[in-house]
Structure 1
Amino acid sequence: MLTIYGVLRSRASRTDWLARELGLAYERVPVIQAYRLSDPDAPDTPLNTASPAFRAINPNGRIPAVTDGDVTLCESLAINLYLAKRHGGPLAPADLREDGLMTMWTLWAATECEPHTLPILLHGEGTSARDRAAVADAVEAVGGAFAVLAAALDEGGGHVVGGRFTVADLNLAEVFRYAQGQASLFAGHPAVARWLDACQARPAFRAMMAERAREFD
């Protein structure tokens, strides 16, 4: 059985969403980020990213990680590509060309987009001049990425690969979710806003987010 290590208020949300889309049976082992804890090494502390038991699974100390039979993987976007190809169906590449495109868009999300969407999430409510400057720079960069994505969506009939919702859309949507606090950014790119709304209207995403909202209650 697939086991997903991590809490949903982390990049583990990406893998949990995909597992729901694929209809997989899976176990999720809550692993909390060490920075959320006052003393990650305390004897009674919950399993966290500094725990030796988790470091044995992912020595990098990052969530998520997964085990799938004799396969152990970390890095959320790579995990998603693996799971989609492993289980097939419409979210997976239909051929080598689609495989390459899905990998390309996923790497683009990780290298060209997330370094800018994450500061929007982390500093969007900041009041210092430094925070405002970081967000302004990030918004400008994400706006450029949105223009690239909008052109691809137009060419691809509303999706980036194969004219259908795939793991590439899911991976991109989770990276761009970080930027949703900047409403004006999306207002300037209506095609991207419509695409993200459609991704987030999917039942699997809504179920994941509903569980995520209850996570630390």
Structure 2
Amino acid sequence: MLTIYGVYRSRASRNYWMAGELGIPFRSVPVVQARRLIDPLSETAPINTQSPAYLAINPRGMIPAIEDNGLVLAESLANNLYLARKHGGPLAAANAAEEAEILDWTLWAATEIEPHAVKIVLAYDAEPNGPARGRAIVDAAAQALDTRFGMLERRLSQHAYIVGDRFTVADLNLAEVFRYAQSQTDLFDRHPGIKAWIERCQARAAFREMMTVREAEPA
């Protein structure tokens, strides 16, 4: 059985969503980010990214990680690519060309979108009522994303989904990266194709189920 290590309020959300889309059974081990704890090495601390028990599974000390029949992987987007390849179906590539496109767009999101988008979500994590001290960071990140959003906007002007004109793991991976920037409504309003696309992705039952669990977790 697949084991997913990580709380839902982390990048593990991507893997929980993927498992839901595939309809596969999984075991959840709620590993917490060490930065959220006063003393992550305390005997009473929950298992976290500094716990020796977790570091034995993922020495990188990050979440998520997955374990599947002895195979351990520790990058959330790669985890989803593996699960799609293993289980097949409409979320997976239908041929080598689609597989290349899925990988291409996933790597683009990881390198061009997430470094900026994560600055936005971290600013809001630090100031939940809206960034004041971090406003300049958010504005700079949104400005950097504007041109990059245009690249996907052009793709979506001709296609409802990113690869193969159907919902695939590429859409799931990118939707989870783009979600980090969704607080910037003006950015999405300027790119209506992206706004409509992410709404389609987030209307899926597996996403809503994942978010229900995520929102029930402590912030």
Which range, TM-score by smaller chain?
Answer: over 0.9
Letter in 2 for 1:127: A
Aligned to 1:209: 211
Correspondences of 1:183-194 after superposition (within 5 Å): 183-194=185-196
Structure-2 residue corresponding to 1:12: 12
1:160-182 alpha-carbon deviations (Å, 9 max, x no partner): 10000000000000001011111
Residue 107 of structure 2 aligns to a residue whose secondary structure is helix
How far apart, CA to CA, are the structure 2 residues paired with 1:39 and 1:119? 25
Structure 1, 80-89 or 132-141: larger mean CA deviation? 132-141
Deviations 1:24-53 (A, max 9, x none): 100010100111111111111111000011
User: Which residue identity is paired with 2:145?
Assistant: V
Shift of 1:136: 1.6
Tell me which residue corresponds to 2:63: 63
How far 1:127 moved relative to its partner?
Answer: 1.2
Aligned AA for 1:54?
Answer: Y
TM-score by length of 2: 0.95
- Cα RMSD of the aligned pairs, angstroms, is 1.0
Normalising to structure 1: TM-score of the pair?
Answer: 0.96
Q: 1:144 aligns with which of 134, 144, 147?
A: 147
How many Å apart are 1:216 and its aligned residue? 2.3
- Which secondary structure state, in structure 1, belongs to the residue aligned with residue 157 of structure 2? helix
- Structure 2: runs of 5+ lacking an equivalent: 125-129
Paired residues for 1:1-217 under 5 Å: 1-124=1-124, 125-128=130-133, 131-155=134-158, 157-216=159-218
CA distance in 2, matches of 1:136, 1:48: 32
Distance 1:112 1:191 in 2: 19
Structure 1 gaps, min length 5: none
Q: Distance in 1 between matches of 2:108 and 2:139?
A: 21
Runs (4+) of structure 1 moved beyond 3 Å? none
1: CA distance between counterparts of 2:64 and 2:22? 18
Give per-residue Cα distances to partners, 1:131-157, cap 9 Å, x unaligned: 2222122111211121100111123x2
Aligned residues: 214
Report the alpha carbon displacement of residue 98 of structure 1 after superposing the two structures with TM: 0.6
Deviations 1:91-111 (A, max 9, x none): 000111111100011001100
Equivalent position SS for 2:27: strand
